Amino acid sequence: MSKFHLVRRADARIWRTLLFCFIGIVISLTIGAVILWVLGIKPWEYYGKMFTIGLIGNKYGYKSIEGLLKIFVPLLITSLALSLSFKMRFWNIGGEGEFLIGAIAASIIAFHSTGTPNFVTVLLMCLAAMISSGIIGVAVAALKVKFNTNETLMTLMINYIMLYVIRYIGETKADWNFFLREDSKRAKFGTFPDSAVMGGIHFGKFNLLWSVIIAIALTVIIYIYLKYTKHGYEISVVGDSSATAKYAGMSVGKIVLRTMFISSALIGLAAALTVSAAGTISDTITNGVGWTGIIVAWLGKLNVPAVFVISILISILQYGCQAAATQYPAIDINFADLLQGIILFSVLVADFAANFKIARKEEAKNA
């Protein structure tokens, strides 16, 4: 007989969640510190570099901000897109696959764009990516609506299919394969012509990419969309109770299809902005946003402003870990991933602990 059991806390309070998350982060940093110390690195120095994302004492500090934003934009848009479908209780875990489809579609435009103006090319890349990702999203939604297939499995499988598609493209030397560099003997992804590389606004040396501005605008639009429009209202009702939605005369199938199209198309857009900012494509272009986005969406409780803030925090964590790791020969990027994993895990546990408590079952004294 178990002596303990879980009880949902009657009062969920924001300060408790924050406090628990803070404790969780402290614990995970302590674990990280032990590992660093064993490896002969001074933990406080490492963490100092990590939390300042290598800004302090660095005359190329603006580069750090640019790098951070390149991580932030796809993560934010993907998390928002996933929140959209999660709000409808449609478990779209195919962010990775949808991202890759968008990235490939955008790259096809990019590699054929020599000569077209930059603005037109980038716009076409975005459209191509949104349409192709959107179609895949709709296909999965249609199977769900029509045959009640399990969307979790379907979207999950798309991730693997697309991962192998991009690997195939990346490793196959052939005449048709315009993705690869022609001047290289080894199979290697080519770089986009300048017409397909995104520009931005220059503040001195710092280059604020257009994609950042688009991402922030999207956040506002999605916030309004979910909160104030009829579509947003329909999404909440379908997510809450599809029986009720049907009863109210909503055509649930149409709403599911539409929302999944928007959700996947947004991920496609994130992909197009990412490849355009990077000026190339690769099989690691997603940087795992399809997965991390799920965590961000849930930590933010599908609330748009919260998702925005958490995307920033996770981006700082990711970029900071990488930036710090590159400065020590004893550790590499894998340590950064490890540390991120520990921190995210403990934050999720903290979130759980803030909503539930472990109550002790007292042994019966009169037994």
**Residues near another protein (CB under 8 A):** 1, 10-11, 228-233, 236-237, 240-241, 243-249, 361-367
Instruction: Return the number of the residue (205 or 227) whose C-beta is nearest another protein.
Output: 227
Query: Measured from the CB of residue 242, what is the shortest distance to another protein in angstroms?
Result: 10
CB of 262 to another protein, least distance (A): 14
Nearer to another protein, 29 or 245 (CB): 245
Minimum CB distance to another protein smaller for 358 or for 367 = 367
What is the smallest separation between the CB atom of 363 and another protein, expressed in angstroms? 7
Which tokens is 261 given? 């199209």
Q: Which residues, other chains included, contact 139 with Cβ-Cβ below 8 Å and sequence gap of 6+?
A: none
* CB 133, min distance to another protein, A: 23
**In this structure, how many other beta carbons lie within 10 angstroms of the beta carbon of residue 201?**
11
Q: What is the CA radius of gyration of the chain?
A: 23
Beta carbons within 10 angstroms of residue 306's beta carbon: 15
Buried b / exposed e across 136-146, counting CB within 10 Å, b at 16+?
bbbbbbeebbe
Q: Pick between residue 16 and residue 246 the one whose CB is nearest to another protein.
A: 246
Min dist CB 1 to another protein, Å, is 7
Helix (H, G, I), strand (E, B) or coil at 7: strand
CA-based nearest residue to 32, from 341, 364, 362, 348: 341
Judged on CB neighbours under 10 Å (0-12, 13-18, 19+), 13 is: exposed
Nearest-approach distance from CB 134 to another protein, in angstroms = 20
The residues facing 1 across adjacent strands are: none
What's the min distance (Å) between Cβ of 11 and another protein? 6
CB-wise, 70 or 87, nearer to another protein? 87
Bridge partners (DSSP) of residue 203 are 206
Integer CA distances (angstroms), 15 to 105, 287, 344, 351, in order: 44, 31, 19, 11
In order of 101, 124, 196, 259, 364, the CA distances from 106 in angstroms are 9, 8, 9, 22, 67
Q: How far is the CB of 250 from another protein (least distance, A)?
A: 8
Q: Least Å distance between CB 245 and another protein? A: 8
Of the two residues 8 and 185, which places its CB atom closer to another protein in the complex? 8
Q: Which H helix or E strand runs over 102?
A: helix 95-111
Closer by beta carbon to another protein, 3 or else 185: 3
| Pick 84 or 342: Cβ nearer another protein | 84
Listed residue (307, 271, 348) closest to 82, CA to CA: 307
Cα–Cα distance measured from residue 75 to residue 269, given in angstroms and rounded to the nearest whole number: 12
Q: Which is nearer to another protein, 91 or 192 (CB)?
A: 91
